[in-house]
Structure 1
Amino acid sequence: MHGAGNDFIVLDGIRQPIEMTPQRARALADRHFGIGADQILLVDTPSHPDADFRYRVFNSDGSEVEHCGNGARCFVRFIHEQGLSKRNPLKAEIQTGLIVLTETDNGEVVVNMGQTRFTPADVHFDTSALSNETQGEDTVWQLPLTACASPVRISLVAISNPHAVQVVESIATAPVAELGPLIESHPRFAQRVNAGFMEVVDRHTIKLRVYERGAGETLSCGTGACAAAVAGIRRGLLDNPVTVHTRGGTLTIDWANPDLYMTGPATTVFTGRVDIDKLTQHD
């Protein structure tokens, strides 16, 4: 499945319990010896009393993360298509709480992403001896990088998982491949971070590229789109709602503070069966 080009393997852990390990996730996501995907999504039994399902997300490097916005849309579409539930809207349990997923009549999916947070502690960011400035309602931090003569200016946003967003003149020429991994694995981010590169087109439109934590640059990133839109609004660069154009498709972000809503597509590419253990021999 894919959500605006962000592609996933979605696994039914309800009918057949699945023990997902880092090795298995890497084997499935391998585009040469496995199926290939940006991330692995597991539909699992919830522990939260108000949740319909548990939503687990594994990066292509095998690490488990808190949330994936594009994946959430595919998650609910998979549940409905596979007959696991007819409930709409549906509540999914993630590591940080519950999210609400709704399929619309026009075939898109709306995800209530919950509330956003903006402090350094929320993204596990060490600010010792770093400079910052106030822009609008946002605090913009200056992050030194070895590849840059001057620090990059980032906004910090936590939407279940951590994001560092910077504004660039053009995403076509932004050095995502060079700076993305340096920001993602910067020692000041204790749990790594998703690095967003945002080009402001007008007050309601941006273009975006994201170097994702544990996955590299993807064609689209749902939580990254949310983080960029909210950062732009807080910095006084954007007005709500915001249309986000990624290389894989278009998302709409509506920040009804405190809750944040993302709307976009979810597409099934194919279904099948896989013997995961046969794949792990290539890990």
Structure 2
Amino acid sequence: MPFTKMHGIGNDYIYIDCLETMPENPAELSIRMSPRHTSIGSDGIILICPSKIADFKMRIFNADGSEALMCGNGSRCVGKYVYDHNLTDKTEITLETLSGVKHLYLHVNDSTGNVDEVTVDMGLPSFDCEIIGVEFPQNEMIEKSVITSTGKLNITGVSMGNPHGVIFMEQIDNLCISAIGPELENHKMWLDRANIEFAEIVDEHTIKMRVWERGSGETLACGTGACATAVAAIRTGRAKSPVTVKLLGGDLTISIEKSSGHVMMQGSATEVFTGNYFPC
């Protein structure tokens, strides 16, 4: 089975062209392909599929086999893949996801003829607890105290088409994210787990962030998480648009479009290698 390894600032997935054929069990395939020491290694797999309502459709399976609703970094890589592999000649495309149809704007390098960066219209964020999928007595959960094994943490719930919990802290470099991440991801307040972001304000236009992704653990980057963090920082008066979110794998630029209120995410997309996978 042909595949392409790609990453968006370190958030790496295995991309499979499914325009003609689909793998039988993509959840199991993701579990088998994702281990870093005994297989190809990735945060999961992304299937590029035909769509009846958009130019293409994206299906995302995390390393644990769970299917994700949306992946910002993955959507940028899909945009690069379909253009660079001559599946489209358009520089503005639509992409169907489980969180709705996203609009992608491809930035083509004049020298190489390939896509270097992609801007994704991530749509409207939501602080509504019902939309996020969090049990809370109020309509919104803005910097509300949550009791954990390490003490109380103030968390803000945000939906970017998938659930996020954003926590602002003074220092994130020395955070033992592998201890607190799983606990917060699986906290009983979430109806179906959540992505957890730990953010440190540098200035009103710059945020450092680490992320514990639902179904994948700590990753080098999370596009929807960067959007959720920027939106939460703006909502709580900590930041102003545009915001540069600095992740372990690189930077993303997040801005709020004034006319629509939509969140716009811009960042790089990189192809690493191609290969053939032979299931054992």
- The TM-score with structure 1 as length reference comes to 0.90
Residue of 107, 116, 127 corresponding to 1:118: 127
Number of positions where the alignment pairs a residue of Structure 1 with one of Structure 2 = 267
Contact 1:168 1:174 in 2 (8 A): no
Match of 2:170 in 1: 169
More strand by share: 2
Distance (Å, rounded) in 2 between the aligned partners of 1:191 and 1:108: 32
- Looking at structure 2, the residues matched to 24 and 5 of structure 1 have their Cα atoms a distance apart, in angstroms, of 21
The corresponding residue for 2:65 is 62
2:99–2:162 CA contact under 8 A, matched in 1: no
Whole-angstrom CA distance in 2 between matches of 1:235 and 1:208: 16
Q: Identity percentage over the alignment? A: 39
What secondary structure sits across from 1:225 in the alignment?
helix
- Contact 1:46 1:53 (C-alpha < 8 Å) held by counterparts: yes
RMSD: 1.7
State the alpha-carbon separation in 2 of the partners of residues 64 and 178 from structure 1: 24
Do structure 1's residue 28 and structure 2's residue 37 form an aligned pair? no
**Structure 1 segment 186-225 matched on structure 2, within 5 A:** 186-225=187-226
Residue 131 (structure 2) pairs with residue 148 (structure 1): no
What does 1:270-281 align with in structure 2 at a 5 Å threshold? 270-275=273-278, 277-278=279-280
Q: How many Å separate the matches in 1 of 2:15 and 2:26?
A: 15
1:1-283 to structure 2, matched below 5 A, reads: 1-48=6-53, 51-106=54-109, 107-128=116-137, 139-145=142-148, 147-149=149-151, 151-256=152-257, 257-275=260-278, 277-278=279-280
CA distance in 2, matches of 1:12, 1:247: 28
CA contact 2:26–2:61 (8 Å) conserved in 1: no
For each residue in 1:1-57, what CA deviation from the matched residue of structure 2 results, as whole angstroms up to 9, or x when unmatched?
Answer: 110011110100013333343211100111123211012111011132xx0011111
Query: Deviating runs (4+, > 4 A) in structure 1?
Result: none
Could you tell me which residue of structure 2 aligns to residue 281 of structure 1? none
Residue aligned with 2:157, SS: strand
Which ranges of structure 2 fall in alignment gaps of 5 or more residues?
1-5, 110-115
Cα shift at 1:228: 0.3
CA distance in 2, matches of 1:16, 1:274: 15
- TM-score normalised by structure 2 residue count: 0.91
